[in-house]
Amino acid sequence: MGVSRQQAVENRRAIVAAAEKLFRERGVDAVGLAELMKAAGFTQGGFYNHFKSKDALVAAVMEKAMEDGGDAFASIIESAKSADANAVKHNIQWYLSPDHRANIEAGCPLSGFVGDARRFGDVARGSYAQGLAANLERFAKVIEETEGISEGSRGKAITLFSQMVGTLLLSRAVADVDPALANEILDEGRQHLLTAVDPQPGIQSRGHSRRR
């Protein structure tokens, strides 16, 4: 008895979800088809019923991840607006938080896949680039609305986001072996960016910084 069209769609989604989780945790090249199909609850033989190749799966993962990342960004900004908070600062505080650092499985896909992106196939690389461009455009618009400026917002968005990603990745890289250093990197990076957005003293405590 064949699988219904709806069941096939759900099976494909399960494979994409399992692949995204494993790719984020270990990197695309380190995950084999047998492992990811087992994680999705299927046998390896069923993979080619849904995807022509691993590259095709990676492309599907990127498309979904970028869409989810855009939705998450919109939710964060709406949360800030609802609380009558500065949306730019709110985004920085969330991005450079211990919770987001620990959320490798479902955090920002732009930082989550940055190490693999240049090795993707053309379609997946295109999805990543489009996702990055869209995120920068959204961030620039938030900066315009928050700061009341019409020029320079794109450059500021690129600068801020690049520093946010770099800070997050360095902090993640040492979080397991040197938590104090990881917290110092996260706290100092967050403080610097918040000060750059609104150069007033006492914006944000350095929290767990190693230096006192």
Same domain, residue pair 83 and 131: yes
Q: What is the pTM of this model?
A: 0.86
CA-based radius of gyration for the chain: 19
Q: Are 32 and 70 in contact (CB under 8 A)?
A: no
Whether 63 is in a domain gets the answer yes
CB within 8 A of 94, min separation 6: which ones?
Answer: 76, 100
Q: Which residue has the tokens 């494993």?
A: 22
Q: Are 42 and 57 in contact (CB under 8 A)?
A: no
Q: Which amino acid is at 54?
A: K
What is d(CA 10, CA 180) in angstroms, rounded to the nearest whole number?
43
Same domain, residue pair 105 and 5: no
pLDDT tens for each residue of 158-206: 999 999 999 999 999 999 999 999 999 999 999 999 999 876 544 443 3
CATH number at residue 26: 1.10.10.60
Q: Alpha carbon 105 to chain centroid distance?
A: 9
**Count of domains in the chain?**
2
Same domain, residue pair 111 and 190: yes
Same domain, residue pair 116 and 25: no
Same domain, residue pair 10 and 44: yes
Whether 210 is in a domain gets the answer no
Same domain, residue pair 28 and 76: no
Domain extent, residue 76, equals 58-197
CATH number at residue 178: 1.10.357.10
pLDDT tens for each residue of 15-49: 999 999 999 999 999 999 999 999 999 988 889 99
